[in-house]
Structure 1
């Protein structure tokens, strides 16, 4: 039954029989047979079929909610039994907004130093995608903004408050003074993250509050691309302070603070709301809390 519920989750996620089968490492006929057997067991039609996948039926949508709960509970039970037998061990899948990757590294390296039998997969993803991946059980935890856009029912551990800096070449006029205001950037040659990134939406809001509407002539979903553009051309970009200093270290670039206005966005670790947590996930939540706890 669990394997068939996982088939339903994969099909809802991929919206395509072939891709769903591939994601599970099975053949498409095996997937189709498994879905039909699940329909027979439940006594309802779950999938609208034609020449291609036609979506889930209303009954299929309700079954999907319960399937995610059952599969999630089963995985947690398995992890708890493994921890009782072997100690903290296993694999955690972590999705992170691009601007928080340096903090993800701190969290993961500190955790694995204390728990060497736990491995990680770390993915860079937009905030909306992180929530979708959590819902689909494709990741175990995420690092994202906590208070800027709705998160749904999750458990969170704050990591840091995001402050912003402008990156430019050392000979740029912006590099000659101290902190600069957002209203000074109206004519700047900007390269910024793409609009699907929540960081970009926050930056746009700062511009709007400053009464300006500058255009980003280069957009990318990669912070490395943004810094490379500044390094090789007459561009400026805006990134969180911690990430900016990491990417600019050892390079002929200036990191100039932007004047803060209002509350800084909070970034933290999120996990599906569940009690009790598996021992591994609880340890990771404790690790995140320890990162921000003042040292004695």
Structure 2
């Protein structure tokens, strides 16, 4: 039944039988047969379908919650048995907001040095997508904001508090200043993260609080794109200090602290709340705790 539950989860996620089959590496007829067998075993219709996927039935919505729990428990059982016999091993998927990618690398380096048989995959994603990925079992843990938007039922380990910096090229109207206030960004040509990013929503709130309507000429979901535009000389951007220092190292760019506005938001590791956690995830939370203590 486990394989059929995984088929069901894939169809619910993709909303399309063909894409779900492709994601699982099986044929569409095999997928359709598996779903029909699962429905027969459970005695209910899970999916509305005619010539195409029509959504989940009410019973399907309830079954999806159980399917995710059962598959997660199955993975935990497998991981615990593997750890008992061979030590920590397997794959760990970490989704991180773009502004926390340097911290993701720091955490990954420390963790894999301690547990070399665990392979880590790090994905850059917006904060709301990270929560969805945890719910859909597409990520094992996330690196995101802890206190700005609802997280739901998760375990958390705070890592750092953001401090915002203006990044500008020499000769810019704001360059050479020791510090800036959010109101100083009025009428400045800004390139910022796209509105689906929580960092951008924080920046917009800070600007709105001082009556500044941001003049945003370029938006991107990539911090690299933002720095490249600043380096061209025509733009400035606002980024948290950690990622700003990493991306500007060795470049002729200035970092100027921003003062005022909201208190810096905490960023940390989140994971689905489970008791107990899988051995690998428990070790990752412990490693994040050591980093937090330092």
State how far apart, in whole Å, the 2-side matches of 1:233 and 1:183 are. 21
State how far apart, in whole Å, the 1-side matches of 2:110 and 2:163 are. 23
State how far apart, in whole Å, the 2-side matches of 1:101 and 1:130 are. 13
State how far apart, in whole Å, the 2-side matches of 1:63 and 1:272 are. 19
Q: CA deviation at 1:17?
A: 0.3
Q: CA deviation at 1:261?
A: 3.1
Residue number in structure 2 paired with 1:140: 140
Q: Name whichever of 172-181 and 43-52 sits farther off.
A: 172-181
**Which consecutive residues of structure 1, in runs of 5 or more, have no partner in the other structure?**
none
State how far apart, in whole Å, the 2-side matches of 1:121 and 1:260 are. 37
State how far apart, in whole Å, the 2-side matches of 1:229 and 1:213 are. 20
1:29 and 2:29 aligned: yes
**Which consecutive residues of structure 2, in runs of 5 or more, have no partner in the other structure?**
none
Residue number in structure 2 paired with 1:187: 187
Q: CA deviation at 1:173?
A: 2.6
Residue number in structure 1 paired with 2:218: 218
State how far apart, in whole Å, the 1-side matches of 2:216 and 2:267 are. 24
What's the secondary structure of 2:231's corresponding residue? helix
Q: CA deviation at 1:170?
A: 1.7
Residue number in structure 2 paired with 1:47: 47
What's the secondary structure of 1:6's corresponding residue? helix
Residue number in structure 2 paired with 1:86: 86
Q: CA deviation at 1:175?
A: 1.7
State how far apart, in whole Å, the 2-side matches of 1:25 and 1:270 are. 30
RMSD: 0.8
What's the secondary structure of 1:120's corresponding residue? strand
State how far apart, in whole Å, the 2-side matches of 1:285 and 1:43 are. 40
Residue number in structure 1 paired with 2:265: 265
* C-alpha contact (below 8 Å) 2:182/2:261 kept by paired residues: no
Q: Name whichever of 252-261 and 95-104 sits farther off.
A: 252-261
TM-score (norm. length: structure 2): 0.99
